[in-house]
């Protein structure tokens, strides 16, 4: 039975109202892709399933409108550490927020309960177990509720990679609070998982909002594990004194790797479920507060970590699914700056995961399908960005991502792949498809192992047919053929079976790609760093600001990134502001953070500039390139309509979209086509006013232009003219 809810007759809240809050309290004057559509669903009171990549700004989709709506927003979050970090960040930005869980003392719990009753909070974070108690449901039933936001929503689906049975009880929300919208958010959900989320929660005609699964700022590299620690050290040493995560499959490997890194002079801690709660918390806090650089962990680490400046993620073994890999590797570069994701896998990883799943009772159909998918990914020769995007049901339209080992030519292809593949597949057939990859590689290499002699497989025509190649190379080629769906592993012992595509290879009708690891080539060996991320940044000043951030975070007992992210520090080191007004122009600096932190940071900047005879208040820094340049499918569909000169209203009507949404499509069109004439969408008088304002205050940020115009011209119109002027330069 649903309960009768208190209602709040709040005035209509618009997207512009939310944008003003974001500018004032978060320090940003524009939305990232799909954030606006997600916010519009909240403002319309419509249930939603929102899928945005890690670092795509999911939290802002409910946090920002919560600040504008009457009533309390209840956020369901799976981990205590995640709640604490989110609430700390909100309070730093001046938002009334709290969490309620077992980490609070009785007196602290009573304080939170009183804050709920007195309407003193805008956001309340709860675990599903805490929310679904009768006492909490009754308490919430007596106060105005703006919405429910369910974070990490993939946990509700048995087809998700991190299913949690306790999430299933959240279906109660639609029964108890029938008039309150439920919004769900996740970074990793295939179409099957998205449908399951909506069904399990009994959502009513939810808006399905799926952003691009691509993370263009991440540089993916997948290699066979051949040189042990040396491969890992190359990555870590390339990111000296920067934060990173190393994932290992087993606890034993975590301990061994962390000890080895420390012995080699790298600051590292271990993290796995076998450690005590106290030790795990201590190690996690050391990483968040930047007292150590590297955390070596099992998959037990990460969901509760909202650290924005992780510059690399290493997998020392194959993850258990592409969903897990997307989420774990996605913990790098959440600030939108460049980051490395390196996966080192071995032929035995598939079997290790299969045994672990069998021992834990997880070896069900979804889990085994997911394991086969990540195994194919590791052995694939397809662009890594393309593989990940297409796994989640989207189209990757770029020919060359410029950010993975395949597209950067960091892999070397063999010259005669068809002949080698035919020899391998012929051997599989002659072995009657009864043996695994390792045994097949032994036969092909000409081994006279006792088992081979006993079975007389040394008499086969394919015995030693590839003896000029090392066995490890043959073994790798077999895995690559599996990854390209020419062969599949079948049964308990992973016997090799030909597929239809494999039979086409034998007939010479299809040529697979076979490769071997090779040194990075000159010219394209390393991904080009986003020029906007470091250009104009004073590196020594940036390091001084990092140290100041670390000291302040330690004093306040919060993670360093909650004070400021790396992107904000780089912008400070680029602009070198000397006044509060200039400090407010820094990316990520809102009014509250300016009040709290401007004094120490401005003092640091001014002292550095005085000592080094440097100018302050640099007013013409290089334009910040968006870390999310990918165009959306909906926007692309609108491009022909804009090309015809249709107005915002006409396009909105033809596509059945809100005008505010179509403005976002127009932004992408202007950038894609490099349009320089705003006249189809802006009248001449308004465009002239905006151009004059830009000539006075510059075209770097919209907020100063908006303020110079007295707030009379909306951001949407300013953005159009500013984009056209930038395209004309």
- The Cα–Cα gap between 159 and 163 comes to 7
Homologous superfamily, domain 15-210? P-loop containing nucleotide triphosphate hydrolases (3.40.50.300)
Q: Say which residues have a Cβ less than 8 Å from residue 516's Cβ, sequence separation at least 6.
A: 411, 412, 414, 473, 476
Say which CATH class 531-611 falls into: mainly alpha
Secondary element (H or E) of residue 243:
strand 243-247
The answer to whether residues 495 and 389 touch, using CB atoms and an 8 Å cutoff, is no
The fold of 414-512 is Arc Repressor Mutant, subunit A (1.10.10)
Highest mean pLDDT among 141-155, 368-382, 546-560: 141-155
Secondary element (H or E) of residue 116:
helix 106-117
- The Cα–Cα gap between 86 and 44 comes to 25
The answer, yes or no, to whether residue 425 has pLDDT greater than 90, is yes
The per-residue pLDDT for range 464-487, each reduced to its tens digit, is 999 998 888 898 899 889 878 899
Secondary element (H or E) of residue 223:
strand 218-224
The answer to whether residues 391 and 190 touch, using CB atoms and an 8 Å cutoff, is yes
pLDDT of amino acid 635: 65
User: Which tokens sit at 374?
Assistant: 């990540």
Q: Say which residues have a Cβ less than 8 Å from residue 444's Cβ, sequence separation at least 6.
A: 423, 424, 427, 462, 463, 464, 465, 466, 467, 474
Q: What is the DSSP string of 141-193?
A: HTS-EEEEEESSGGGG-TTSTT--GGGGGGGHHHHH-TTS-EEEEES---HHH
Angle made by CA atoms 682, 684, 690, in degrees to the nearest 5:
75
What Cα–Cα distance (Å) separates residue 148 from each residue in 87, 123, 151?
Answer: 16, 10, 10
* Sign of the C-alpha dihedral computed for residues 417, 423, 429 and 431 taken in this order: negative
In terms of C-beta density within 10 A (0-12 exposed, 13-18 middle, 19 or more buried), how is residue 274 classed?
middle
57: left (phi over 0), alpha (psi -120 to 50) or beta: left
The answer, yes or no, to whether residue 64 has pLDDT greater than 60, is yes
For residues 201-218, one letter each, b for 16 or more C-beta atoms within 10 angstroms of the residue's C-beta and e for the rest, the string is: bebeebbbbbbbbbbbbb
pLDDT of amino acid 636: 65
Lowest mean per-residue pLDDT among 110-114, 323-327, 439-443, 616-620:
616-620
The answer to whether residues 18 and 78 touch, using CB atoms and an 8 Å cutoff, is no
User: How far separated are the first and last CA of the chain, in Å rounded?
Assistant: 62
The answer, yes or no, to whether residue 428 has pLDDT greater than 80, is yes
User: Which tokens sit at 687?
Assistant: 């465009």
- The Cα–Cα gap between 706 and 24 comes to 13
pLDDT of amino acid 2: 34
Highest mean pLDDT among 59-63, 296-300, 589-593, 698-702: 59-63
Q: Say which residues have a Cβ less than 8 Å from residue 588's Cβ, sequence separation at least 6.
A: 26, 27, 28, 564, 565, 567, 568, 571
Stretch 531-553: mean pLDDT, rounded?
84
Looking up tokens 């061994």, which residue turns up?
256
Secondary element (H or E) of residue 100:
strand 97-100
Say if strands 515-517 and 411-413 run parallel, antiparallel, or are unpaired.
Answer: antiparallel
pLDDT of amino acid 520: 40
Looking up tokens 């072995």, which residue turns up?
431
Mean of pLDDT over the chain: 86
The answer to whether residues 211 and 350 touch, using CB atoms and an 8 Å cutoff, is no
The answer, yes or no, to whether residue 376 has pLDDT greater than 60, is yes
User: Which tokens sit at 17?
Assistant: 């109202």
Architecture of domain 218-395 in CATH? 3-Layer(aba) Sandwich (3.40)
User: What is the band of 361 on the pLDDT scale with cuts at 50, 70, 90?
Assistant: confident
The answer, yes or no, to whether residue 558 has pLDDT greater than 90, is no
The answer to whether residues 705 and 648 touch, using CB atoms and an 8 Å cutoff, is no
pLDDT of amino acid 7: 37
Q: Which residue, among 723, 714, 623, 644, has the nearest Cα to 677 in the 3D structure? A: 723
pLDDT of amino acid 294: 96
Q: Which residue, among 220, 197, 211, 190, has the nearest Cα to 151 in the 3D structure? A: 197
Q: For residue 390, how many other CB atoms are within 10 A of its CB?
A: 14
pLDDT of amino acid 634: 58
User: What is the band of 195 on the pLDDT scale with cuts at 50, 70, 90?
Assistant: very high
pLDDT of amino acid 56: 75
The answer to whether residues 329 and 218 touch, using CB atoms and an 8 Å cutoff, is yes
User: What is the band of 533 on the pLDDT scale with cuts at 50, 70, 90?
Assistant: low
| Coil vs helix vs strand at 235 | helix
pLDDT of amino acid 125: 96
Q: What is the DSSP string of 529-589?
A: PPHHHHTT--HHHHHHHHHHHHHHHHHHTS-HHHH--HHHHHHHHHH---SHHHHTTSTT-
Secondary element (H or E) of residue 430:
helix 417-430
The answer to whether residues 486 and 502 touch, using CB atoms and an 8 Å cutoff, is yes
User: Which tokens sit at 384?
Assistant: 């890594």
pLDDT of amino acid 162: 65
User: What is the band of 181 on the pLDDT scale with cuts at 50, 70, 90?
Assistant: very high
pLDDT of amino acid 63: 96
Q: Say which residues have a Cβ less than 8 Å from residue 182's Cβ, sequence separation at least 6.
A: 47, 147, 148, 150, 173, 174, 201, 203
User: What is the band of 84 on the pLDDT scale with cuts at 50, 70, 90?
Assistant: confident
Say if strands 72-76 and 48-51 run parallel, antiparallel, or are unpaired.
Answer: unpaired
Share of the chain above pLDDT 90, in %: 42
The answer, yes or no, to whether residue 451 has pLDDT greater than 50, is yes
Stretch 404-408: mean pLDDT, rounded?
88
């Amino acid at each position: 039975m649903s309960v009768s809810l208190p209602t709040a007759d709040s005035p209509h809240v618009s997207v512009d109202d939310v944008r003003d809050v974001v500018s004032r309290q978060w320090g940003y004057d524009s939305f990232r892709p799909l954030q606006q559509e997600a916010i519009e669903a909240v403002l319309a009171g419509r249930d939603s399933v929102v899928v945005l990549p890690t670092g795509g700004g999911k939290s802002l989709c409910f946090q920002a409108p919560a600040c504008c709506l009457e009533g309390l927003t209840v956020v369901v979050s799976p981990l205590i550490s995640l709640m604490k970090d989110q609430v700390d960040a909100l309070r730093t930005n001046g938002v009334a927020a709290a969490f309620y869980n077992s980490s609070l003392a009785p007196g602290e719990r009573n304080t939170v309960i009183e804050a709920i009753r007195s309407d003193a909070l805008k956001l309340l974070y709860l675990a599903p177990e805490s929310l679904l108690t009768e006492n909490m449901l009754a308490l919430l039933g007596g106060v105005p509720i703006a919405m429910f936001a369910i974070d990490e929503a993939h946990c509700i689906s048995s087809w998700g990679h991190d299913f949690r049975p306790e999430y299933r009880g959240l279906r109660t929300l639609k029964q108890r609070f029938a008039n309150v919208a439920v919004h769900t958010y996740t970074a990793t959900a295939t179409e099957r998982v998205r449908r399951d989320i909506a069904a399990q929660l009994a959502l009513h005609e939810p808006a399905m909002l799926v952003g691009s699964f691509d993370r263009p700022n991440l540089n993916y590299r997948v290699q066979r594990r051949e040189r042990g620690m040396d491969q890992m050290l190359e990555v870590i040493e390339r990111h000296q004194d920067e934060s990173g995560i190393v994932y290992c499959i087993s606890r034993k490997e975590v301990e061994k790797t962390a000890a080895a890194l420390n012995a080699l002079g790298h600051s590292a801690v271990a993290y796995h479920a076998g450690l005590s709660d106290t030790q795990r918390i201590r190690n996690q806090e050391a990483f968040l507060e930047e007292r150590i650089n590297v955390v070596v962990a099992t998959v037990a680490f990460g969901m509760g970590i909202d650290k924005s400046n992780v510059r690399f993620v290493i997998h020392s073994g194959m993850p258990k699914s592409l969903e897990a890999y997307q989420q774990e590797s996605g913990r790098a570069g959440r600030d939108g700056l460049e980051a490395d994701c390196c996966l080192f896998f071995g032929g035995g990883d598939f079997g290790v995961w299969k045994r672990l799943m069998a021992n834990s009772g997880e070896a069900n159909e979804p889990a085994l399908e997911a394991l086969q998918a990540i195994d194919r990914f590791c052995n694939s020769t397809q662009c890594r960005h393309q593989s990940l995007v297409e796994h989640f049901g989207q189209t990757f339209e770029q020919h060359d991502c410029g950010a993975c080992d395949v597209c950067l030519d960091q892999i070397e292809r063999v010259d005669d792949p068809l002949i080698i593949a035919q020899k391998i597949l012929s051997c599989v057939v002659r072995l009657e498809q009864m043996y695994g990859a390792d045994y097949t590689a032994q036969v092909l290499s000409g081994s006279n192992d006792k088992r081979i002699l006993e079975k007389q497989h040394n008499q086969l025509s394919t015995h030693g047919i590839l003896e000029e190649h090392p066995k490890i190379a043959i073994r790798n080629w077999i895995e690559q053929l599996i990854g390209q769906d020419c062969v599949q592993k079948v049964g308990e012992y992973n016997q090799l079976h030909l597929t239809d595509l494999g039979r086409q290879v034998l007939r010479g009708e299809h040529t697979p790609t076979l490769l071997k690891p090779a040194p990075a080539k000159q010219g394209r060996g390393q991904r080009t760093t986003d020029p906007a991320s470091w250009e104009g940044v004073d590196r020594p000043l940036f390091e001084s600001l990092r140290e100041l951030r670390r000291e302040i975070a330690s004093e306040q007992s919060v993670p360093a990134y909650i004070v400021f992210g790396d992107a904000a520090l780089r912008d400070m080191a680029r602009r070198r502001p000397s006044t509060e007004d200039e400090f407010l122009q820094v990316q990520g600096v809102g009014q509250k953070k300016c009040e709290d932190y401007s004094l120490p940071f401005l003092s640091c900047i001014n002292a550095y500039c005085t000592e080094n005879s440097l100018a302050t208040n640099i007013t013409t820094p290089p334009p910040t390139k968006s870390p999310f340049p990918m165009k959306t499918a909906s926007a692309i569909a609108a491009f022909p309509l804009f090309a015809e000169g249709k107005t915002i209203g006409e396009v909105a009507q033809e596509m059945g979209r809100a005008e505010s949404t179509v403005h976002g499509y127009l932004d992408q069109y202007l950038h894609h086509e490099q349009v320089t004439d705003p006249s189809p969408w802006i009248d001449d008088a308004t465009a002239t006013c905006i151009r004059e304002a830009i000539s006075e205050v510059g075209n770097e940020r919209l907020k100063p232009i908006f303020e110079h115009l007295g707030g009379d011209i909306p951001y949407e119109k300013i953005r159009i003219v500013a984009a056209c002027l930038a395209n004309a330069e």
